[in-house]
Amino acid sequence: MLDGHNLASPVRVPAIAQPTPITPHPTRAEAEAAVRTLIRWAGDEPSREGLRDTPARVVRAYEEWFAGYAQDPDTLLSRTFEDVDGYQDVVLLRDIPLHSTCEHHMAAITGTVDVAYLPNRYVVGISKLARVVDALGRRLQIQERLTAQIADSIERALQPRGIAVAVRASHGCMTTRGVHTQGTCMVTRDLRGDFREEPRRTEILAMLTGRG
């Protein structure tokens, strides 16, 4: 008879990692039903005349507000140019309009973005910089992450000697609820490469604030 000391230890079978379930994309009908639920929760009746078509309108608006999920910023910057006759100074695009949505309260974020880079070898059409801002903005965002994502996209596409991104925006989650602080503006920036070091740092900060 075997005693307890001679019993073999149980074999531990490693757990098999389960794939992360993919949530099916809701149908348009499901999205509109969700809007009707929110209308009822707010205290109104979605079947009344003025609100009857609101769920469909909201879903169409969401398709526009969140169109950035269907766009790849890297693809937008994929067409670059080398024929610049040796130009290597700052390229700065100011006051790109920003329309985004706060991921915490789904309130509007509106403002402007300045993007600058020091070409290393490649440049890109300036309209593409604006498109990248728009694509990344039209997602659920926080401003700090958005600022870094814009810089990341430019860095991957152009590999410049320096990047500077500055975002100035008003957040509806502060101006229309909570503390109700009208007129506030949040500023974030991301400086990389040569723009982190003097004298380029002082130069680009002056340009981003409109003094250079």
112-134: b or e for each residue (b if 16 or more CB lie within 10 Å)? ebbbbbbbeebbbeeebbbbbbb
Does 18 qualify as catalytic in the annotation?
Answer: no
**105, 155, 159, 203: which one is catalytic?**
105
Strands 91-102 and 140-141, by their bridges, are parallel
Does 185 qualify as catalytic in the annotation?
Answer: no
**71, 155, 159, 173: which one is catalytic?**
173
Does 103 qualify as catalytic in the annotation?
Answer: yes
Does 182 qualify as catalytic in the annotation?
Answer: no
**32, 141, 143, 149: which one is catalytic?**
143
**32, 141, 149, 171: which one is catalytic?**
171
**104, 144, 185, 197: which one is catalytic?**
104
Residues in contact with 188: Cβ distance below 8 Å, sequence separation at least 6, in sequence order: 143, 144, 146, 147, 166, 167
**63, 71, 88, 103: which one is catalytic?**
103
Does 171 qualify as catalytic in the annotation?
Answer: yes
Helix, strand, coil proportions of the chain in percent (round to 5)? 40, 20, 40
Does 104 qualify as catalytic in the annotation?
Answer: yes
d(CA 44, CA 48): 9
Q: Report residue 97 as tokens.
A: 């309009």
Does 180 qualify as catalytic in the annotation?
Answer: no
Q: Which amino acids are annotated catalytic?
A: 102-105, 143, 171, 173
